[in-house]
Amino acid sequence: MNNPGGWRPNPYDTPGGSYGAPGWQQVVDPRLAGVVHQQLVSLDTQVLPWQGQVWPGQQLDWTIRPEVDPEQSGRGEPPSAWTSQLRLEMPQLGMVEAELRWSGSGCSLRLAVPAERLAALRAALPELARQLKDAGVRTERILVSTQRDGSHG
Instruction: Tell me the pLDDT tens digit for each residue of 32-75.
Output: 777 776 777 766 667 777 788 888 888 889 888 887 766 655 66
69 plus 134 within the same structural domain: yes
Residue range 9-21: mean pLDDT, rounded: 46
SS3 55: strand
Domain that includes residue 112, residue range: 49-146
Q: Which CB contacts under 8 angstroms, 24+ apart, belong to 99-103?
A: 101/67
Residue 140 lies in a domain: yes
15 and 72 share one domain: no
56 and 23 together in one domain: no
**Local confidence band at 108 (pLDDT 50, 70, 90 cut-offs):** very high
pTM for the full predicted model: 0.63
